[in-house]
Amino acid sequence: MTLRVSLSLAMPLLCILISPALCHLAAQPPAGEKQLTFDGRWKADPVVLPGSEEIVYTLQETPTLLSLWRLRLSTGQSERLHPDATTNEFEIAFSPDARYAAFVQNRANLNLKLVIRDYQEKRDYVYDPGGGFAGMRSPAISPDLSRVLFSIPTPTGQQIAYVNLQGQNRQFLTSSPGVNNWPRFSPDGKQIVFSSSREGDYEIYVMDANGSNVRRLTYSPGMDIRPVWSPDGRRIAFTSNRDGNYEIYVMNADGSDPRRVTDNPGRDDYPWWFPDGQHLVIVSERSGRYDLYKIALPR
């Protein structure tokens, strides 16, 4: 017992005096967690590319440039998703067959646009709402490819709307005061989960795909944001600071049995499900470094 304690106390000193590699070995993620990136640069919005072993995420390449990157899980190597992009691109969503992607783009100003890219036809459709930096956020493509959701500012607040796959025929689904954001279709396309400040702080709500039958799922004193359905539609993962720090939670699709699944001193955010429904990819901030982690959910 004495030897074990002594080694534990000596490890930080050994790291400094003998080998930085010892520091890396001493700081391995806990069981059930795997670090996926190691560059420490600011990241956000990871999504698992459908039908692949790849994760696409937003990376801050420079102080003024956000771009979309692809992480190949088989090799651990990352590269730009769109190598020729010269503008900010972020917050991407894919169709279930990965043929289409919807993402936010801006060119040399603060006006944000929705780009719907058809990778098969190599064609872009653009919806430009005008407005300032908050002009377009959080796109999501419906499972039947009929609609692309997004959040957009209006005189009554930030509302959830949609266009068709060609970026046309905008329609609104919400009209409540406050901020309505982070919409996501359920796997069957019949429901939309989202976060809203309509009753004060940010809570998680769900509504039918036509905007009717809105139900509140969470009741916490903190911010409950960025909800996302599990692949089978039975659970919802989200970020919350209800316990004083931003952590990842998972609850049943009806809002019951919310459970915290991370516990780190930094910020854990941006959950997304792996296809097996047993793991999440998240962005975790640790000692000022932002990296992707794969976490196993308790059974």
Q: Cα–Cα distance between 199 and 221 in angstroms, integer?
A: 11
Domain of 257: which CATH number? 2.120.10.30
CB-CB contact of 295 with 279 (8 Å)? yes
Q: How many domains does the structure of the chain reveal?
A: 1
Residues in the chain: 299
What is the model's pLDDT at position 131? 64
Q: Is residue 10 part of a domain?
A: no
Quick: pLDDT tens for 108-153: 667 889 999 999 999 999 999 876 555 789 999 999 999 999 999 9
Is 21 domain-assigned?
Answer: no
Is residue 271 in a domain? yes
Question: What pTM was computed for the model?
Answer: 0.88
Do the domain assignments include residue 117? Answer: yes
Which residues form the domain of 82?
33-296
Residue 160: the pLDDT is 98
For residue 17, is it within any domain? no
Does residue 228 belong to any structural domain of this protein?
A: yes
Confidence of residue 278 (pLDDT cuts 50, 70, 90): very high
Is residue 112 included in any domain, yes or no? yes
pLDDT digits (tens, 9 = 90+) for 23-36: 333 344 555 899 99
The token duo for 151 is: 């959040």
Q: Give me the DSSP letters along 129-157.
A: ---STTSSEEEEE-TTSS-EEEEEEETTE
User: Residue 110 has what pLDDT?
Assistant: 72
Helices (H) then strands (E): counts for the chain: 2, 24
Which has the minimum average pLDDT: 35-49, 55-69, 121-135? 121-135
CA distance readout (Å), 247 to 126, 127, 250: 34, 34, 10
Task: With respect to residue 200, please indicate whether it lies within any of the assigned structural domains.
Answer: yes
CA distance 234 to 254: 8
